[in-house]
Amino acid sequence: MSTLALLFVLLDELHDTFVTPIDREDIYNLSQAFERMVNYALTTIEEMNLLRVAADEPIRRMVSLVREQSEDLEAAMQRLAKNPRVADDHANHVHEKEREVERVYRDAIRNLFSRASEPSALPDILYRREVYRHISNMADRAVSAANVLGMVVMKIA
């Protein structure tokens, strides 16, 4: 089943539910943010394969940080009902990791374009930059999910 189909199933279930512990709108916004993260992950892999970009240290580091963001989001969701302030703390860690992804991204771009003296290196530089940008955007989607979680915490805490 596609992610879009799963989203529609979720929406149908929400409409059939009388009371949810989280506002329906927040559940929808969370599911949208999580879906965007997953889509970025999948399209990043597709891009790397299509453009034949092998993982280098900046890619490994950024992906590792995005994985940590995902783990923090999962921990926040698990703690939301019983420990909303702990959930909010996990959501704040997502923001911290996004800032670190951006630092790695900027350093990687600077280093990448410092190699731009050879015209033959240009395609690889542009392809790699595209993958870096995609991973950076994935980290931004995690922040979007963390922002929704923060709003949920404000409502229930």
pLDDT of residue 14: 64
pLDDT of residue 29: 87
pLDDT of residue 117: 81
For residue 40, being part of any structural domain is answered with yes
For residue 10, being part of any structural domain is answered with no
Q: Which among 152, 154, 157, 153 is positioned nearest to 23, based on CA atoms?
A: 152
Q: Note the pTM of the prediction, 2 decimals.
A: 0.83
For residue 121, being part of any structural domain is answered with yes
Number of domains, the chain:
1
For residue 39, being part of any structural domain is answered with yes
For residue 28, being part of any structural domain is answered with yes
pLDDT of residue 81: 81
Positions in the chain short of pLDDT 70: 1, 11, 14-21, 157
Instruction: Report CA-CA distances (Å) from 28 to 10, 75, 94, 133, 148.
Output: 8, 19, 20, 26, 10
77's tokens? 């969701």
Kindly report the CATH number assigned to the domain that includes residue 60: 1.20.58.220
For residue 90, being part of any structural domain is answered with yes
For residue 125, being part of any structural domain is answered with yes
CB contact at 8 A, 98 and 66 = no
Structural domain boundaries enclosing 45:
21-156
pLDDT of residue 145: 92
For residue 135, being part of any structural domain is answered with yes
The residue to which tokens 């995690």 are assigned: 142
pLDDT of residue 147: 93
